Amino acid sequence: MRIATITNWAYSATVCLTLASGIVMLMASNADNTERRAVEQRQIFDQLTDEVDEDAWALSDLARLYIIGKDPEILNAYRQKQQGLKKIEHRMSALKDAGASGEELALLREGLEIVDALQDEQQTALNNLANGEEKQAVSLLYGKIYEQQLDLAQDRIDHFHQMLDNRARNAIADATKMSRTLRTLSEVMVGLTALLFLFVLGFILKRRVLRPVVRLSDVVHRLASQDYAVETPNFNQIDEIGDMAQAIRIFRENGLVRQQLERERDADWAIRELLARMTQRLQGCENLADVVNVAELFAPNIAPGIAGRLYILDRDPWQMRCVAQWLAPKGSAEPFHPDECWAVRRGQSHPPVHGEPDIACYHLPELSHDETLCVPLIAQGEAIGLLSFQNLNHETAPSRAYLELMAEALGLALANQRLREALLEKALYDPLTGLRNRHHLDDTLSNQLSQAMRNKEPLSCLMIDIDHFKTINDTYGHEAGDGVIKSVAAIIQRVVNKSGMAFRYGGEEFLVLLNGMDDAAANRIATDIFNGVREMTLRFGVSDIGHVDVSIGIASYPEHIQSDNLLRAADVALYRAKELGRSRIVSFGMLEQPLL
């Protein structure tokens, strides 16, 4: 029950008790009025009965005095008194109007009739006196019968007076008792009103207001300090306190929701910062290994608890190859054909809406179909890789947009690496032969010489020149000459393979660096190249070019030189081979003259 309802009920009860108390007090006041009327009635009765008694005795005395003294003035006084006497009916009416009862009036009537009879006897005595019968008049007024009648009239009047006194006393006593009773009842009602007011006030203030308000105040104070873990009191009563408790519960729930939203916002900002940092790091990557390291480091932090793999698209063979993985994803990391992934096919994330039925990618393990998301890495409108996420659910997965942003950043980084590699290849590799060019040689030679000096290892250099190349150009044309250069470069690359590094030094000249090989090992490599070129038969269109020979100069560190003049020594050896008639191998160690 609401406090307002309780208060209204208590107010109504208080008003009713107050009204009842007022009515009782009015009744008590009426009882006092009844008491006063009884006293006034008694005074009226006493006055009327005294008049009757006084008139009866006064007439009797005047009549007797006149009979004895025969004084005319007394007779005149008697006549005047007699004329002033009220009739019995008038007296009876006056008493009746004053509230006399029938029994009292009958008793008074009997007394008044006796008084009237006495007046008749008095008149008879006066008449007797007037007729000279004085003795009869005296005998009549002083006789025993007259005295008895006079006493009887007095007795009836006294009895009437006594009855009036008794009734007046009883009326006064009843009125007094009723007044006291009503006053006591009024006081009791006033007391009940006060007790009810104090009870309601105490109940409302202490039990229904003070205690709940104290508890709610503590909860509000803790909520104000953003302590939303506080439990709100369970006040389910339908009143203002219940409304306040409900409002506080709603405020707490809103606070929890707001706190959750703030945590999610902070998490979003953290993910955005990680994405921004990852993007910055990807911009500084110089090769695929750097991109892989960045992906393996940032992906588990951007999507905590989400396992995944990074695939790149190889063109030869045509396949998706896993280059990075984190948090132990399910299934095999073996390469697969790009058509096995619906995300790569569609060029969009797959499945489109997580949780709804959709066809699964064929490269995924069956157990992870419902919790996997594939995001293609798109660059310039074509897929160049793939991000595959596992263990996705509503609780652990970040926003799908963040995963797609991560894929976009990685795709851009991979595209930049491909572009970088393409530019690097154009800058460092000869477009005709595919061998490293002279620009690449400077850095490579410096690094390998430093490594050889530091590790005290040998380093050899082969300088190769195609013999009579100008004649081939002049005879068969520059396209045929380019074909010869490409064929010789292919043999050099095949022989050197992983043993060293081959460069197109310029025109028809080639250079090979052999790290860790001395003069003897370099001679074996040079012999294989020399024989491979000689055994090659060249044709251009319908023309038979025949076989081609090369001249090779060899220089080795530290056998032949002790400084960074390795290229110069190899060039001198090649020059010597040309002097000796070309088509031969000459080592710098075979020369008699020193290197200038």
Q: Which residues are catalytic?
A: 508
User: What is the Cα 402 distance to its own chain's centre?
Assistant: 25
C-alpha span between 279 and 412 (Å, rounded): 9
Neighbours of 372 (CB within 10 A): 24
C-alpha span between 558 and 552 (Å, rounded): 19
Strand partners, 436: 429, 503
Residues in CB range of 460: below 8 A, 6 or more apart:
513, 514, 517, 518, 519, 521, 522, 554, 555, 556, 557
Residue 252 has, within 13 A of its CA and on its CB side, a CA count of: 19
Q: For residue 370, give Cα distances in angstroms to 269, 327, 343, 361, 478.
A: 28, 18, 15, 11, 62
410: exposed, middle or buried (Cβ count in 10 Å: 0-12, 13-18, 19+): buried
Q: How, if at all, do strands 382-390 and 543-546 pair?
A: unpaired
Neighbours of 409 (CB within 10 A): 22
- Phi and psi angles of residue 499, each rounded to the nearest 5 degrees, phi first: -80, -20
Are 302 and 402 in contact by the 8 Å Cβ rule? The answer is yes
Q: How, if at all, do strands 459-466 and 509-515 pair?
A: antiparallel
Token reading at 133? 């019968």
466: exposed, middle or buried (Cβ count in 10 Å: 0-12, 13-18, 19+): buried
Residues in CB range of 383: below 8 A, 6 or more apart:
313, 338, 344, 347, 376, 377
Specify the residue for token string 């070129």: 533
Strand partners, 504: 510
Neighbours of 433 (CB within 10 A): 21
Residues in CB range of 413: below 8 A, 6 or more apart:
282, 283, 285, 291, 294
375: exposed, middle or buried (Cβ count in 10 Å: 0-12, 13-18, 19+): buried
Cis bond before residue 558 (omega within 30° of 0):
yes
